[in-house]
Amino acid sequence: MSKNEKNKQCSLPKGKVVFFATGNINKFNEARSILSQHDIVVGMLRLKGDEIQSDSLKDIAQTSVINAFRRCRLPIFVEDAGLFIDALSGFPGPYAAYVYKTIHNSGILKLMENISDRQAKFQSVIAYCDDQTPCEPECFDGESKGGITLAERKEQGKSGFGFDPIFQPEGSAKTFAEMTIEEKNGFSHRAMAIRNFAEWYKTKR
């Protein structure tokens, strides 16, 4: 980040602006869509604190946001999510990002061949940190129950990413990858966690 960019960010009005530490533009767009409805401005920082290896999404998110805050000293949040598949004893869980990079959706579908129990859930944790909570981040949860599809289903032009093409939430005939951002935000774990954060933030401010 250049010196001018840092100065520009520091000059933004306090109390109405938060930053999302992520390198995923799709996650950022989903968050921005929700936060704008709560009159909260969000900026994207391609910065993420060092992650720990843990079975707890909350522990991972808290550690990550503390490290990120120490680097930028801005009001900032991170999001950590996991996909938990019942028939695979909760695999890949908090290691979803690594598993996706290594075996992709096709690998999960291969593991699920001939398995009738397709139930799964996405879980999300938002951890927020600022100068008032430098060592004790606030955390907010979200969960979306659904199932693993038999094949990848996605639609051109939609913003689905990661395991979205193989996850169909309860109450919908579409996978996340077949939805618009607005549709997905009506079902997703991330949207739920962000809404919980937004409600708290508005009260806090």
Known catalytic residues? 80
Cβ contact 14:74 at 8 Å: no
**Cis peptide bond prior to 92, omega within 30° of 0:** yes
- The tokens for 145 are 């129950």
Element (H, E) at 62: helix 57-72
Distance between CA 49 and CA 63 in Å, rounded?
Answer: 8
Rounded to a whole number of angstroms, the distance between the first and last alpha carbons of the chain is 28
